[in-house]
Amino acid sequence: MALFLLDFHNYQLRARDTALYPAVGSNPIYPTLGLCGEAGEVADKVKKVIRDRGGSFDVEVIEALKLELGDVLWYLAQLASELGLELDAIATANLDKLASRAARNVISGDGDQR
Q: pLDDT exceeding 90 applies to what percent of the chain?
A: 88
d(CA 69, CA 71): 5
Tell me what the pLDDT averaged over the chain comes to.
Answer: 94
- Give the residue among 64, 59, 75 at the shortest CA–CA distance from 27: 75
Q: What is the mean pLDDT of the segment spanning 66-77?
A: 98
pLDDT in tens, 23-62: 999 999 999 999 999 999 999 999 999 999 999 999 999 9
Q: Is the pLDDT of residue 5 over 80?
A: no
Please state the rounded mean pLDDT for residues 88-107.
95
3-state secondary structure of 67: helix
CATH 1.10.287 for domain 26-103? yes
Question: CA gyration radius for the chain?
Answer: 17
Note the pTM of the prediction, 2 decimals. Answer: 0.90
pLDDT at 112 over 90: no
Q: Where are the alpha helices (DSSP H) in 17-58?
A: 29-52
Segment 93-97 shows an average pLDDT of 96
For the chain, which residues make up each domain, given as ranges?
26-103
The single-letter DSSP state of residue 109 is S
